[in-house]
Amino acid sequence: MPRLCPTNREQALFFAEALETGVANADEVVVWADGVITETPRPDLALCEASLMRQKPRAELASTLRLVEGDEPRGAVVRGLLIERLLSSHTAGKMSAERLARWVYQDAISDEASWGDFWSEALRYDDALDLAQQGVHGDHSVEVSAMLGFLNRVVARWLQVVDEPAS
């Protein structure tokens, strides 16, 4: 299935969370903002401000990105983009499986409704990795593999275009 095209507001919110999580940096955000500004006849003022904030603290840049206007963001899209980035960081060796599992756990308990039918499975991996790492239950590599498969399924569902039912 084709992938959803996130709105500028959804991308801004993704970058805000990615900055706060430490999986994006100001340079990357400024390059993205500059690209949007170049392609948009009347760019959002907050986006223009963000474009000029390369040397500002990440928290300040993230706050500015949260001001980008637009339609109500689809939470699953923003979260899917962030999980996709977290998975890339893990694959690149920049984030441990335990840190990834902890992020998923914290996000799921803070927003159960957004995780929907994935919620209970999202909670499972933090404990599963701890138990496997301590040698109490399970195999660490098997648990990591299961978690990565789960997160890839989540991303696929949240970032795919849902076909319209035939009339």
End-to-end Cα, the chain, rounded Å: 20
Q: How confident is the model at residue 161 (pLDDT cuts 50, 70, 90)?
A: confident
Domain residue spans of the chain: 8-65, 75-158
Alpha-carbon span 24 to 21, nearest angstrom: 8
pLDDT of 22 above 60: yes
Contact present, 158 and 6 (Cβ < 8 Å):
no
Contact present, 36 and 8 (Cβ < 8 Å): yes
Give the model confidence (pLDDT) of 26-65 as tens digits: 999 999 999 999 999 999 999 999 999 999 999 999 999 9
What are the angstrom distances between the C-alpha of 13 and each of 70, 90, 98, 163?
Answer: 11, 21, 24, 25
The pLDDT tens digits of the residues spanning 117-148 come to 999 999 999 999 999 999 999 999 999 999 99
pTM: 0.90
Query: pLDDT tens digits for 57-106?
Result: 999 999 999 999 999 999 999 999 999 999 999 999 999 999 999 999 99
What is residue 2's predicted lDDT score, i.e. its pLDDT?
A: 85
